[in-house]
Amino acid sequence: MDRDGIIRIINDTELAWLGYTREEIVGKSLAELLTPDSLQTFQQTFPQLKDAGEIHDVELNLICKDGQLSL
């Protein structure tokens, strides 16, 4: 993910979990894949990640292509 929250690289394992192809994911904002609660958490913590270069103890739930949650 870049400094704007855009997914630039994703590994094959994560693609398999989410059910997307690389072409469907790369270039999307991570925010587009988050549940509403996780989006709120992301919006609160992403500035800290950008400033510090790391963040700890943050869990985000992603929505898989089939609509299920990636927990």
pLDDT at position 67:
95
pLDDT at position 70:
85
- pTM for this predicted structure: 0.82
Structural domain boundaries enclosing 60: 12-70
Average pLDDT, the chain: 93
Q: Which residues contact 15 (CB under 8 A, 6 or more apart)?
A: 21, 22, 25
Q: How many structural domains are present in the chain?
A: 1
Q: Does some domain include residue 5?
A: no
Q: Does some domain include residue 4?
A: no
Q: Does some domain include residue 3?
A: no
Residue 66 has pLDDT above 80, yes or no: yes
Q: Does some domain include residue 2?
A: no
Diameter of the chain measured on Cα atoms: 34
CATH code for position 24: 3.30.450.20
